[in-house]
Homo-oligomer: A and B are copies of this chain.
Amino acid sequence: MALKKEELLEAYRRMRTIREFEENIHRENTTGEIPGFLHLYCGQEANAVAVCMQLDDTDYIASNHRGHGHCLAKGADVKGMMLELYGKEDGLCHGRGGSMHIADVSRGILGANGIVGAGAPLATGAALTAKTLGTGGVAVSFQGDGASNEGYVFEAINMAVMWQLPMIFYFENNGYGEFTGHDYVVGSKDIAGRAAAFGLPAVRVDGTDFFEVYEAFGEALKRARAGKGPSVIEAQAVRFYGHFEGDPQAYRSTEELESVREHKDCLKILRQKLIKGKKATTAELDTIDQEAVELINACREAAKAAAFPDPATLMNNTYVSY
């Protein structure tokens, strides 16, 4: 794998944009202007970006409740995303879906999902479409360690194996499902190992290392595109904030909370590697940082100023026709 400089800068830009998007939501949430439940992706950006930047619009992803990062990485419009989170008419889903259902099927995004693990069978369906219609596309489902215990996730893995679908199950193991540790709910304490027994390659990667994810996913993608069937990737990831905004995280020690930003920040790690490897200068990266801040600020202001949907349109789009 030899990523070009532009690619590396683009990766950094996407991760930085997601980070800024989420930090902004975190700050703005206290204003009460953002409705509903919010699950932030801060800390896990390397995963979404290293995966999605290898995909194109014929490829599909299915995301979960913690979906902002996946959608942004896959190319959803940043402003449309922000407006959606504020419940505005010009949001990506016209304010109907919000954070937990944000989607853009035209960009191959089958949506965030409020049902833990549901994305696995849905994405497997997209992989079936790709195989049946010969589109050359692949499908990826993003789910957490908690989701790894949902039976239908195993069902989807089994079918992907049976039918040798172009499908990749990407588990972001951030150590917690809501407030409960991975080691408590995964009896075997080994998500990748459990999956491997279904008959497909399953690897574990460091989800704070953009390059490690990029490489492992690249391998899986190559197999999928070549018709060699599905794969599983389990990434050790890190969640900076609580399960949802407002979660006091009484189950995490202060040491853990302090150390993750210090030692396990995928963005900081990428930045250091880029500079150390002479792939980018501090100035170049600072510029990207600055641009991300400006972009998100502009989106936020646009979102605040935008109009809510008209209640007269409440029932629109329940059906195509009825």
Contact = CB atoms under 8 A, between A and B. Distances in A.
A188 B232 CA distance: 14
Contacts of A162: 184-185, 187
Contacts of A197: 188, 190, 193-197
A275 interface: no
User: How many copies of this chain sit in the oligomeric assembly?
Assistant: 2
Nearest to A162: B187
A152 interface: yes
Max chain B Cβ within 10 angstroms of own Cβ: one of A154, A195, A196, A200 = A154
A168 interface: no
B193 A188 contact: no
Nearest to A154: B154
A236 interface: no
Describe A's contact surface by its main secondary structure.
Answer: helix
Nearest to A157: B187
Interface string A151-175: 1111101111110000000000000
Contact of A151 (B154, B189, B190): B154
A262 to B, nearest CB: 32
B161 A151 contact: no
Contact of A187 (B150, B159, B184, B188): B159
A298 interface: no
Contacts of A129: none
Max chain B Cβ within 10 angstroms of own Cβ: one of A184, A193, A197 = A197
Given A149-B155, A151-B150, A162-B184, A189 B193 contact: no
Interface of A: 149-155, 157-162, 184-190, 193-200
| 10 closest residue pairs by CB, A with B | A151-B151, A161-B187, A188-B199, A197-B197, A151-B155, A162-B187, A194-B197, A151-B152, A154-B154, A187-B199
